[in-house]
A and B are shown apart, each in its own frame.
Chain A
């Protein structure tokens, strides 16, 4: 057996809820796997599906989109837009067999512990799925 597979995960986090929640996990010293890499956006509604695909194509094994809970969006309705885009994106991902590698989660600014749990679960989930290697496949052609 070789080394344990360490997935590479890109996380989109909105400034007002999720990024603050992830910060809170830090302030509270709640440990979670190191595999996650946070990209800050002002609102999860800014995340274009192409950005998610780009992450997978360029080497990420999984992508997590996080935003405020429904009804809590700092910009009134950004997270509802995120949800609709995510559901459409999932249809496409299903065709590609990548459905399992992208997830949408709501993390509030007070949910540092919930973030740690979401991150841990997702890293474990992707670890079970194994490496994606989309980058290698694409560059081989």
Chain B
């Protein structure tokens, strides 16, 4: 069994002359929530897309459960669940149809999907939602169906790219509680956000990204201390960026 669930080693990604990710390295253990924080354009989404097998890296390596993402993306994709703020649901299909579709793409039999749905319906409060068309659901309800889609095949790694964007306070809280519960189930979770306060509440460790690089990494409290005893993670980030400049 590998030492860490996710390993990123000197990862880089260039778009023409622009380096979106530049020599990034970090790891995420099982049962850990790792926050990837930074302003817009810091390279968070690009990093997560590489991890999810959506973009090929220009250099370095990324491994999910010791499976190299660049060389065997399908194998890596079987081991992860991917969730974004845009829910990625098919508006004209019902929640159940969407989940059966993605379950089939993951290689699950219909009966296995139904069995899994029975569990998830309780955990995510999906009762009554699954047979309605997705276009008729509220943002929070869509996000709950979307979480079910991401964890349907019970992957050991969850990649969450700004999943609380556009959600109200209650829905955001529900999502955070679910993520925390998944941590206790031993999942490795990478959580990207530019809401630093949210990361502070949820993450075991955070990596602060700026211009494609990791400025600092560690538990939120340690980062605050590192940035001259900053009162918050946000203040710590601003001081670290200012220090770089």
A binds B: no
